[in-house]
Amino acid sequence: ETMREYAVDRLEAAAEAPEWRVRHARYCLQLVQTAEPQITGAGRNPWLNRLRADLANLRVALAWSVRERRDAALALPLAASMAWPWYFFGLYQEGRNWIEEALALDGGPPSDVAAALSGAARLATYSGDLARADALAADSVARWRALGDARGLAFALFNQSIPYAMRGAD
């Protein structure tokens, strides 16, 4: 922590902090977007271990992009791509909070909004908020259908089915 504080102080003094924060957030986005397809397959453990090791950095990038910069084009894909790691780490409520904060920002590409809604639906389900999960999943399904994205729609339908199955509905 002392080293981090020192480095931040030096960046602020050199007026280079804004540029480095953008670079850091973009690096984190690239990392989670590279990891995401691997996490949904059989080779997930090395990627999950890497993301777990970088969790503090990912949280810093999320906090900066969502709360300070308020940049939907950066915050939404970063938060959405973290949905699977949050799920596998058992951090349902934390992940849901990040995604919902990013969704509250104006703008962002429609596919990032749809992906964020889908991830938030999964995390809401495992947080025990099935009513919210239903609403998020339905919104995501509609958006993926409008986009004509079969892969996104498949995950959204899967996320929509989980609360239904958890209720034991026919």
Mean pLDDT, residues 116-124: 97
Q: Average pLDDT, stretch 60-82?
A: 94
Alpha-carbon distances, residue 83 vs 13, 39, 80 (angstroms) = 35, 10, 5
* pLDDT at residue 18, as a whole number: 76
Total-model pTM: 0.87
Which tokens go with 125?
Answer: 């389900």
The Cα 147–Cα 20 span in angstroms is 34
pLDDT of residue 78: 96
Q: What is the pLDDT of residue 167?
A: 85
Q: How far is CA 123 from CA 62, 72, 95, 150, in A?
A: 17, 20, 7, 21
User: What integer pLDDT is reported at residue 168 of this predicted model?
Assistant: 79
Question: Is residue 96 exposed (0-12), middle (13-18) or buried (19+ Cβ within 10 Å)?
Answer: buried
CA end-to-end distance (rounded Å), the chain: 52
Residue 91 pLDDT > 60, yes or no? yes
101's tokens:
């904060």
Higher pLDDT, 22 or 1: 22
Residue 169's pLDDT is 58
pLDDT at residue number 61: 95
Residue 49 has a pLDDT of 96
Question: Could you report the per-residue pLDDT of 153-164, keeping only the tens digit for each?
Answer: 999 999 999 998
Burial class (CB in 10 A: 0-12, 13-18, 19+), 74: buried
Give 3-state DSSP helix, strand, coil % of the chain, rounded to 5.
85, 0, 15
pLDDT grade, residue 19 (50/70/90)?
confident
What mean pLDDT do residues 34-48 have? 92
Look up residue 80 and give its two tokens: 């959405």
Q: pLDDT digits over 93-119, tens only? A: 999 999 999 999 988 899 999 999 999
Query: Over the stretch 20-40, which tens digit does the pLDDT of each residue have?
Result: 788 999 999 999 999 999 998
Task: State which H helix or E strand residue 95 sits in.
Answer: helix 92-103
Closest C-alpha among 75, 108, 82, 110 to residue 96: 82
Give the tokens for residue 140.
């995501």
